[in-house]
């Protein structure tokens, strides 16, 4: 198995162990609810050591010569990290070590190991995936931190190394596994690779491709100094108060929705009653119309609390004017109001306004004002003995 495949398997195993640990984090505030720290808070210094391997392009389909463990070199590094928020940090790291490779062309360069020393300085952006996914937890024992970065690598500067000194810019990416062993101390397993141009390597170990990939696996310790925890942006008591207020509003909304449903039912019931009353009014109007034909009297009905002639009232008066326009018969106009609604003073005024409205219509229709006598009784008398209802007492009787 190649070094690349070995590191890939190790990354998969670590992620499989990390997912259940992050899934257990519940009921924690997310990182957005925390304040950014001061400059001297949440710094880390780390040192580690481990193995390294250099993978170059295969030449003519031939795999890299030599056994795997013979091609494993060493790596050591130191790093300084500053965490900005519980999920985001910046790191400056210096890697040093040695690659060990065999040449593809043994006839030209021999069959021995070519040792290539290197020094890699890079800056990285770190994302704490455990805090991002599971929420910030100061007591978390394991954190998975992914990162990407950019830097400069220098190789082959010693007399014993193959080729001559060369340097190249490189991109790096990896997974940093942090295991908390004390409030200020972590054990770190860092799985990293970086990519750079193969042309920067000694000719003896080039595979003929465009890029080379270096991989490292290191174990070390990290010490965090300054303030090590994060302060919530709001005190927990305030957060609890906000949550309780939201729950209360949700309960009030449910009650309001129930009341709205009940109100809709009540409106439907009132609409049904209104239709029944309209039918009763129509029957009363029919009875009044029949009485007009027999007695030559006229009754004009009004809406509750109103003194304005409706279209129906105007139609009734128009028919009455056709009958009474001829001759000199005296006409008495009497206004009424029902006693079930309004005060006596208001009903007195309302019956007067109704009577005057009818009088004005008759005069405008051509009946001389000298033939008309206008009176009003408020709610002191009823217009009809039967049916004696408020609806029919909101009227003006013309005799």
Model confidence pLDDT, tens digit, residues 347-358: 899 999 999 999
Q: Edge-to-edge strands of the sheet including 298-301? A: 298-301, 395-398, 331-335, 372-376
Provide the residue range defining the domain that includes 322.
Answer: 296-399
Is 0.85 surpassed by the pTM of this model?
no
**Residue 95 contacts residue 77 (beta carbons within 8 Å):** yes
**Residue 95 contacts residue 120 (beta carbons within 8 Å):** yes
Say if residue 348 is in the same domain as residue 271. no
Say if residue 213 is in the same domain as residue 244. no
Model confidence pLDDT, tens digit, residues 110-151: 777 888 889 999 999 999 999 889 888 888 999 999 999 999
Domain boundary among 270, 291, 312: 291
Say if residue 153 is in the same domain as residue 169. yes
- What pLDDT was estimated at residue 75? 96
Domain boundary among 210, 233, 256: 233
Model confidence pLDDT, tens digit, residues 1-58: 444 444 444 444 444 444 444 443 333 434 455 656 678 888 999 999 999 998 886 6
- What pLDDT was estimated at residue 185? 94
Say if residue 205 is in the same domain as residue 275. no
Model confidence pLDDT, tens digit, residues 170-179: 999 999 999 9
> CATH no. for residue 320?
3.30.1330.60
Q: For residues 338 and 305, what is the distance between their CA atoms, to the nearest angstrom?
A: 10
Of the two residues 117 and 242, the one the predictor is more confident about is 117
Say if residue 40 is in the same domain as residue 134. yes
pLDDT band at residue 396, thresholds of 50, 70 and 90? very high
Tokens read off for 47? 């040192």
Length of the chain: 399
> CATH no. for residue 138?
2.40.160.20
Q: Is 386 helix (H, G, I), strand (E, B) or coil?
A: coil
- What pLDDT was estimated at residue 369? 87
Model confidence pLDDT, tens digit, residues 149-161: 999 988 876 655 5
The overall average pLDDT reported for the chain is 82
How deeply is 189 buried, as exposed, middle or buried, from its count of CB atoms within 10 A (0-12, 13-18, 19+)?
middle
DSSP characters over 104-121: S-HHHH-SSPEEEEEEEE
Say if residue 323 is in the same domain as residue 357. yes
Model confidence pLDDT, tens digit, residues 78-88: 999 999 888 89
> Lowest mean pLDDT: which of 193-197, 205-209, 217-221?
205-209
Going from the C-alpha of 99 to that of each of 39, 72, 89, 358, 361, the distances in angstroms are: 38, 7, 29, 114, 114
Say if residue 165 is in the same domain as residue 176. yes
- What pLDDT was estimated at residue 59? 66
Q: For residues 188 and 143, what is the distance between their CA atoms, to the nearest angstrom?
A: 10
- H/E run at residue 252: helix 236-295
Tokens read off for 37? 């720290």
Say if residue 10 is in the same domain as residue 98. yes
Domain count, the chain: 3
Q: Is 154 helix (H, G, I), strand (E, B) or coil?
A: strand
**Residue 226 contacts residue 40 (beta carbons within 8 Å):** yes
Say if residue 245 is in the same domain as residue 209. no
């Amino acid at each position: 198995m190649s070094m690349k495949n070995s590191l890939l398997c190790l990354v998969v195993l670590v992620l499989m162990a990390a997912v259940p640990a992050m899934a257990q984090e519940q009921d924690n505030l997310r990182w957005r609810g925390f304040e950014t720290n001061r400059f001297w808070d949440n710094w880390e210094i780390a040192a580690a050591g481990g193995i390294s391997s250099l993978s170059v392009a295969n030449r003519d389909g031939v795999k890299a010569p030599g056994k795997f463990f013979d091609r494993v070199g060493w790596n050591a590094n130191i790093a300084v990290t500053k965490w900005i928020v519980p999920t985001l940090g910046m790191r400056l790291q210096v890697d040093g070590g040695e690659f060990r490779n065999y040449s593809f062309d043994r006839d030209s360069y021999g069959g021995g190991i070519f040792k290539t020393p290197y020094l890699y300085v890079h800056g990285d952006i770190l994302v704490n995936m455990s805090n991002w996914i599971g929420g910030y937890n100061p007591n978390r024992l394991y954190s998975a931190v992914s990162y990407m970065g950019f830097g400069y690598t220098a190789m082959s500067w010693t007399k014993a190394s193959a080729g001559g000194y060369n340097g190249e810019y490189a991109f790096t990416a990896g997974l940093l596994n942090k295991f908390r062993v004390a409030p200020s101390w972590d054990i770190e397993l860092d799985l990293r690779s970086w990519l750079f141009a193969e042309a920067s390597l000694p000719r003896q170990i080039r595979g003929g491709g465009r890029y080379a990939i270096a991989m490292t696996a290191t174990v070390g310790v990290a010490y965090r100094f300054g303030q090590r925890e994060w302060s919530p942006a709001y005190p927990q008591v305030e957060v609890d108060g906000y949550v309780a207020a939201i729950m209360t509003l949700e309960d009030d909304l449910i009650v309001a929705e129930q009341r709205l449903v009940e109100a809709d039912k009540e409106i439907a019931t009132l609409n049904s009653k209104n239709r029944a009353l309209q039918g009763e009014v129509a029957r009363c109007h029919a009875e009044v119309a029949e009485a007009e034909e027999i007695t030559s009297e006229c009754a004009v009905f009004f809406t509750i609390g109103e003194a304005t002639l409706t279209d129906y009232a105007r139609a009734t008066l128009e028919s009455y004017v056709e009958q009474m326009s001829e001759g000199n018969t005296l006409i008495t106009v009497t206004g009424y109001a029902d006693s079930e609604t309004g005060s006596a003073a208001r009903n007195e005024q309302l019956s007067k306004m109704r009577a005057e409205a009818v009088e004005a219509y008759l005069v405008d229709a051509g009946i001389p004002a000298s033939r008309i006598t206008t009176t009003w009784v408020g709610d002191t008398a009823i217009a009809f003995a039967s049916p004696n209802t408020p609806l029919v007492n909101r009227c003006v009787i013309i005799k």
